[in-house]
Amino acid sequence: MKRTIFSLCFLVTPLFAFSQFSAFLIGGYGMGFSHYQSTELGVFFDSYNAYQKSTGANLTQEFKNDIPTSRGTYWQIGGAIGGPACQAVLTVEVIKTQTKAMSARFDNTYGRDVWCNYRTSNSTVGIRFGNPAKFPVWGQFDMDMGVQMVTINSEYVYSDGSKSIGLDHDLNGRFSNFGFAIGLGAELGVKIYGPVHFVASAHWLPNLNKQHPEYHEFEDLSDWNALRSDYIPRDMNEYVNNPTNSTGNSISNDFRGLRFTAGLQLTLGNYGKE
Amino acid sequence: MAKNNFKTLALAAISAITFAACDPGDLGIKRMYHGDGTWTIESLRWQTFDSTGTKTVIDTTQENLGELIFFRSKTTNALFDHYCVVAQMKQADGSFVDNPGEVFFDGVRANMQEDPDGNHNYPDDLEGLWTVTENHRKSQVWTIYANQPNGYLGMKKTLTLKKK
């Protein structure tokens, strides 16, 4: 206990080393991008490609396990406290992004599109360095903890280009899973005018669990799926022959990678003021 | 002069970022029950296809069938995010008949079905899991597909709604 108190004082004291005390609120909004990869989604893609070929279907375009960078928006609120050149920052942010479709096509132009939505709600604890009153650039090191929801959307494409996510095909659906995510990252801010800063950040979310669990992770929890398969399979042969095997044959959530944001941050307080 | 140029650049940067990041977001069912929640059923188009699923054999459209009224309240199936909806269907004599049902809507799919009350009867033509083909603030296009036994497209039904 005494050691913990001493450590906290050791960490916090430098923030107040300067005579001027700095405290401000933070609000941010801008563009978000996620570049995630998933070995498990690749297992589904490979199995889908192999199964279609085994049935004699002419797959002119196969699924490739190269998830496109998603794009969307983020917003954040929070606050900071410390000295004029070093502050402890705590923010809460929500980032929502969507990828473009990954496609498989047959020679009769039918096919399947798969795309992903990511929604991350996390808390960020950071240490910010820099005094915008003297030099308009600052940097911040972050640690994130939060919840990430991944939704895999799977729709069938007809020959006229129209797309269905309905009950006409078993693989159609919106399959979601949410899990705990932690990350490390950094931010770079440039004071534009007054309390407005341009901020760019990069965070890395590692995959902490590389094991495929023997239970159902991605699910399409809709009441119309009560008697249908509501998962994305690892093995298409098993899916077709034994669709009720939703535990052992379901892909798990290993979506992890890099997340970037670029946007505006508003600081309300005495940050960056002489 | 330099200060004015910087201010102009700053305002341009703020506008560019705000515009680029502008995203109406996934409003879900809120888009449907917003305001008085009333949408006109502009048309319902039926298409049936030949055995190859590529050529249209029958193509008919019914127009101005009535209205769909979406409510903010959930049904007894709240666990699955089902909300109350009433299909006010126009009759041959110009009168309207109210048909309560329940709806799920997330901007990508829309499911309309009978609600748990056994005395209610939702129109068969509107029941089913629709793919939201177009999702705009004042107009919606939803589509349902059905396959033939040979796996090719057999029927396509397209519902067009306009915010009243």
The tens digit of pLDDT for each residue in B91-149 reads 989 899 999 999 999 999 999 999 888 888 899 999 999 999 999 999 999 999 999 99
- From the list B124, B161, B159, B125, the residue with the least C-alpha distance to B142 is B159
Mean pLDDT lowest among A101-110, A128-137, A138-147, B17-26: B17-26
Taking CB atoms and an 8 Å cutoff, what residues of chain A touch B7? 193
Q: List pLDDT tens digits, range A180-204.
A: 999 999 999 999 988 999 999 999 9
d(CA B99, CA B125): 12
The pLDDT of residue A6 is: 56
Chain B nearest-CA residue for A158: B153
Burial class (CB in 10 A: 0-12, 13-18, 19+), B137: exposed
The minimal CB distance from A153 to the residues B21, B25, B108 is found for B108
Shortest Cα distance, chain B CAs vs residue A34, angstroms: 14
A167 contacts chain B (CB < 8 A) = yes
Burial class (CB in 10 A: 0-12, 13-18, 19+), B23: middle
Q: Do A174 and B146 touch (CB under 8 A)?
A: no
Could you tell me where the DSSP H helices lie in chain B?
Answer: 2-21, 30-33
Predicted local confidence at residue B109, as pLDDT: 95
Greater model confidence, B145 or B27: B145
Q: Which of B14, B53, B108 sits opposite A264 (nearest CB)?
A: B14
From chain B, pick out residues whose CB is under 8 angstroms from the CB of A194. Answer: none
Q: Do B21 and A163 touch (CB under 8 A)?
A: no
Q: Which residue from A79, A95, A76 is spatially nearest to A87, judged by alpha carbons?
A: A79
Q: What is the pLDDT of residue A169?
A: 92
What distance in Å separates residue B55's CA from the closest CA in chain A?
Answer: 10
**Inter-residue contact A230 to A152 (CB < 8 Å):** no
Confidence (pLDDT) at B19: 61
State pTM to two decimals: 0.88
User: How many CB atoms within 10 Å of residue A241?
Assistant: 9
- Distance separating alpha carbons of residues B74 and B97, to the nearest angstrom: 22
| Residue A72 near chain B (CB below 8 Å) | yes
Q: Is A70 on the interface with B (CB under 8 A)?
A: no
What is the per-residue pLDDT for B13? Answer: 62
Residue B2 touches chain A, beta carbons under 8 Å:
no
Rounded Cα distance between B145 and B128, Å, is 10
Chain B contacts in chain A segment 98-157 (CB below 8 A): 153, 155-156
Q: What percent of chain B has pLDDT over 70?
A: 84
Give me the half-sphere count of Cα atoms (radius 13 Å) on the Cβ side of residue A55. 12
The model's confidence at residue A18, banded by pLDDT at 50, 70 and 90, is: very low
Percent of chain B with pLDDT over 90: 67
Give the distance from residue B21's alpha carbon to the nearest chain A alpha carbon, in angstroms. Answer: 5
What are the CA-CA distances from residue A250 to residues A16, A40, A238, B113, B130 (Å)? 52, 9, 10, 29, 26
d(CA B37, CA B32): 6
Query: pLDDT tens digits, residue range A35-56?
Result: 999 999 999 999 999 999 999 9
The distance of Cα B49 from the centroid of its chain, to the nearest Å, equals 24
Query: What are the distances in angstroms from CA B86 to CA A99, A133, A267, B57, B164?
Result: 35, 60, 47, 32, 15
| A263 touches B: beta carbon within 8 Å | yes
* Residues of chain B contacting A261 with CB distance shorter than 8 Å: none
Q: Does B38 lie at the interface with A, CB-CB under 8 angstroms?
A: no
Option in B21, B26, B109 nearest A30 (CB) = B21
Closest CA to A85 of A29, A5, A22: A22
Question: In A57-172, at which residue ranges do the beta strands (DSSP E only) sit?
Answer: 59-61, 70-82, 86-98, 102-106, 111-129, 137-157, 163-164
Residue labelled with tokens 């004082």: A9
pLDDT digits (tens, 9 = 90+) for B152-162: 899 999 999 99
Chain B residue with minimum CA distance to A109: B54
B38: closest CA of chain A, how far (Å): 24
Phi, psi of A50 (to 5 degrees): -65, -40
Instruction: Check whether A259 has a pLDDT greater than 90.
Output: yes
Distance from CA of B154 to the nearest CA of A (A): 10
pLDDT tens digits, one per residue of A72-125: 999 999 999 998 889 999 999 999 999 999 999 998 789 999 999 999 999 999
H or E element: which one contains A45? Answer: helix A39-54
- More reliable by pLDDT, B53 or B103: B103
pLDDT of B27 strictly over 90: no
Residue type, A5: I
Report pLDDT digits (tens) over A141-185.
999 999 999 999 999 999 888 999 999 999 999 999 988 999 999
